[in-house]
Structure 1
Amino acid sequence: MKSQIVILFALVILGACNSPKKSGITQQPTLADYQVGEKWVWKYKGVTTEGEVRSDGKDTREIVNANGVLSMTIGNDTIPVTEIVKQDESETPKYKWPLEVGKKWKYENNWTSQDGTTGNQSQEAEILSYKEETVEAGTFMAYTIKYTGKTTNSRGYNADEEEVWLYSPEVKNFIKLTQAQGDFFYEEELIEYSKPE
């Protein structure tokens, strides 16, 4: 009987560690939080104010064993999960861990596209809430993170931008993204999330 109580207590503690709390602080996921067979599918669509569809499709990511290394497939790429969970040393990161309602920071991203165009995103970020959010994949506790700023590029593009990300600790990813950038509106939503039992 005593060993059953100890086992039950251990399971309760482990469950508490692995399940997001209704409120509080969320740490960055670690390698141990991912398992082979875990899968995410998002649908996305980008439309101009004139009604021109510039992107429309699905994005699938899955955790696989790639030659003994726990990895995530993203399109045609396979990236070790150790790279995904690596601490971001940037002073201006996309997510400033740990996540907590009311937290504010600056996000900056410099990039180069396949055609050689360079660009910059500079945004102010704030975590507005942590509550149940429903998307096509289901209902999850999620942080609402709002980013407001500008995107510019070397071709003279300069647009105000507002993004809202719903990040769910349970799925270790965003479940919805809405973005307004100049005359372009983009939305991405999680439509499927599964992991082995």
Structure 2
Amino acid sequence: MKSYIILCLALAMIGSCSRSLTSGISRQPTLADYQLGEKWVWKYKGITTEGEVRSDGEDTREIVNMDGVLGMTIGNDTIPVTEIVRPDDSGTPKYDWPLEVGKKWKYENNWTSQDGTTGSQSQEAEVLSYQEETVAAGTFMAYTIKYTGRTTNSRGYNSNEEEVWLYAPAVKNFIKLTQNQGEFLYVEELIHYSKPE
């Protein structure tokens, strides 16, 4: 009987450990979570169903010193990290913190690109899982978040789309994005992540 009770307790502990891996809760990163010299590199590629490559390259972001405050380089811009970690109080955020499996929300975004094109997105979001995911940069615990909806722009673009984001709390960023717009598939994957020791 004693060995049966020990076995039951051991199985219950294993079960609770598994649940914590699949149903973790993650809060939004804060300024203190970022370090000078932290760096992310993604490889991206966008291709049509006919095989036409419309985008192919790398995107690098790094935490730098910006006049005495931390900033993140994004393309030719440097954004203060305080802006990145500021809570989104719009009611329709990209990430609805805290993240947890099963959570659902609506994401809406209006934007203007560098060439002056305006557009909007309206999507339903759901956190599908929290588990180990492997990309070129390594293996990380990550949330799988699925976004389904429409994107339109001022140049006449109007498409249903589905996006799957893998967000890894350990790197405070997404490690993979797969975006399907019917006739266009875009994939972006983290290939390098580093921070000072």
TM-score in terms of structure 2 length: 0.87
Q: Are 1:191 and 2:191 matched, yes or no?
A: yes
Measure how far apart 1:114 and its partner are: 2.6
The runs of 5 or more residues in structure 2 that have no matched partner are 1-19
Map of 1:48 onto structure 2: 48
Which amino acid is 1:100 matched to? E
Q: Deviations over 1:124-152 (max 9, x none)?
A: 00000000000000000000000001111
Alignment of 1:10-21 (within 5 A): none
The runs of 5 or more residues in structure 1 that have no matched partner are 1-20
Identity of aligned residues (%): 84
**Cα RMSD after superposing both structures:** 1.0
Map of 2:175 onto structure 1: 175
Measure how far apart 1:120 and its partner are: 1.1
Report SS of the residue matched to 2:83: helix
Q: Are 1:140 and 2:140 matched, yes or no?
A: yes
Map of 2:87 onto structure 1: 87
Alignment of 1:128-167 (within 5 A): 128-167=128-167
TM-score in terms of structure 1 length: 0.87
Map of 2:4 onto structure 1: none
Which amino acid is 2:130 matched to? Y
Deviates more, 1:49-58 or 1:148-157: 148-157
Q: Deviations over 1:45-82 (max 9, x none)?
A: 00011111110000000111112111111121111100
Map of 1:31 onto structure 2: 31
Q: Deviations over 1:85-140 (max 9, x none)?
A: 00101111100000000000000111122332221111000000000000000000
Measure how far apart 1:189 and its partner are: 0.2
Q: Are 1:101 and 2:101 matched, yes or no?
A: yes
Map of 2:8 onto structure 1: none
Q: Are 1:76 and 2:76 matched, yes or no?
A: yes
C-alpha distance in 2 between matches for 1:40 and 1:124: 27
Which amino acid is 2:193 matched to? Y
Which amino acid is 2:70 matched to? L
Which amino acid is 1:176 matched to? K
Which amino acid is 1:185 matched to? L
Which amino acid is 2:161 matched to? E
Map of 1:65 onto structure 2: 65
C-alpha distance in 1 between matches for 2:156 and 2:68: 45
Measure how far apart 1:26 and its partner are: 0.4
Report SS of the residue matched to 1:170: helix
List structure 1 segments (4+ residues) > 4 angstroms apart after TM superposition.
none
C-alpha distance in 1 between matches for 2:100 and 2:76: 34
C-alpha distance in 2 between matches for 1:113 and 1:195: 31
The higher radius of gyration belongs to 2
C-alpha distance in 2 between matches for 1:115 and 1:169: 33
